[in-house]
Amino acid sequence: MSYFHQPVLLGEVLEYLQPKPNQNFIDCTVGGGGHAEAILEKTSPRGKLLGLDRDPAAIAASLKRLNKYKNRITLIQDSYKNLDKILYGKRLFLQLSGILLDLGISSYQVSIEDQRGFSFRKEAPLDMRFGPDGELTAEKILNNYSEKKLTEIFKKFGEEPRAKQLAKQIILFRKREPIRTTSALMGTIKKLSAIQSCSDGLHPATRVFQALRIAVNDELNVLEESLPKLLKILPVGGRLAVISFHSLEDRIVKQYFNQESKDCLCPKEIPVCRCSHQKTVKILNKKVIIPRPEEVRKNPRSRSAKLRVVERI
């Protein structure tokens, strides 16, 4: 298996996480190990890194890439939503300097070698699970969910303007035969696109595949539920950096960081604070960080990346 992970916003991640010799970090979505490798280089000679990923292929790729740091890394196949349980009793990571969360799909998951249906450009079964631990697949959603539920998924997770029409088309198609592969799904999308074109220049399948992937992996709920856990794990002075790839993720991160940077969350019409909320973070970048044009030219996948960073106070 060949798998080279080209990390996005690498320079910016290092600038804001500021890894120094002998510090410890956690990469919640280690992928192919690109960010992890750069952090390990900066934290030599004794800094340690814990890397998590739901995908066994990503863990295998990281083990290979990070082999020279094998005495300083711990790689675990699991979701970052379980990080608090994973860390319980691991004294190695009590002295923690930072956490990185790189959301979305990895380079390998959309590569020719992957057979889980993440990319509409490759023929594959409609699986879309990040790891083998989940039971729900895109195929099950497409062949079993009601028109109403499909519409909701395409609208909520894909921001698809033709959600209702697409759901109707899928119901009609699956009455003839099950939708089991990317090409079968593309057939329904192309048929709808021939009738009603997409106005924003995006490929007609982009939003549909994104919506299904998010639904299969429960991505937004996992992110929303995990952010408080990650901040709780960080000591004062520790930093949390989150890279998102679409507006749904970025909105959750932005709103939570803004909330945790305030001392009071009471509505404006309440003159005296009743919530007793105290800020827990300092936002380090008031304006979201996006890739430079030269990075986008070298790595087109980075074009939609957004980085937000906070420091625990």
**For the chain, what is the HEC assignment?**
CCCCCCCCCHHHHHHHHCCCCCCCEEECCCCCCHHHHHHHHHCCCCCCEEEEECCHHHHHHHHHHCHHHCCCEEEEECCHHHHHHHHCCCHHHCCCCEEEEECCCCCHHHCCCCCCCCCCCCCCECCCCCCCCCCCCHHHHHHHCCHHHHHHHHHHHHCCCCHHHHHHHHHHHHHHCCCCEHHHHHHHHHHHHHHCCCCCCCCCCHHHHHHHHHHHHCHHHHHHHHHHHHHHHCCCCCEEEEEECCHHHHHHHHHHHHHHCCCCCCCCCCCCCCCCCCCCEEECCCCCECCCHHHHHHCHHHHHCEEEEEEEC
Give the model's pLDDT for residue 301: 87
Give the model's pLDDT for residue 286: 86
Give the model's pLDDT for residue 1: 45
Residue 56, pLDDT > 70, answer yes
pLDDT tens for each residue of 190-216:
888 754 555 555 788 999 999 999 999
Give the model's pLDDT for residue 192: 81
Average pLDDT over the chain reads 92
Q: What angle do CA 88, 92, 98 make, to 5 degrees?
A: 90
What is the end-to-end Cα distance of the chain in Å, rounded?
Answer: 43
Distance CA 108, CA 212 (A): 18
**Lowest-pLDDT choice from 1-15, 175-189, 222-236:** 1-15
Give the CA distances from residue 145 to residues 116, 125, 313, in Å, rounded to whole numbers and listed in that order.
20, 18, 45
Smallest CA-to-CA distance from 11 within 43, 34, 45 is with 34
Residue 26, pLDDT > 80, answer yes
Residue 105, pLDDT > 70, answer yes
Distance CA 78, CA 59 (A): 10
pLDDT tens for each residue of 266-310:
888 888 888 888 999 999 998 999 999 999 999 998 999 999 999
**All domains of the chain, ordered by start, with CATH?**
10-102+219-312 (3.40.50.150), 116-217 (1.10.150.170)
Give the model's pLDDT for residue 88: 81
Instruction: Please state the pTM of the whole predicted model.
Output: 0.92
Query: Tokens representing 74?
Result: 């711990």
Give the model's pLDDT for residue 195: 47
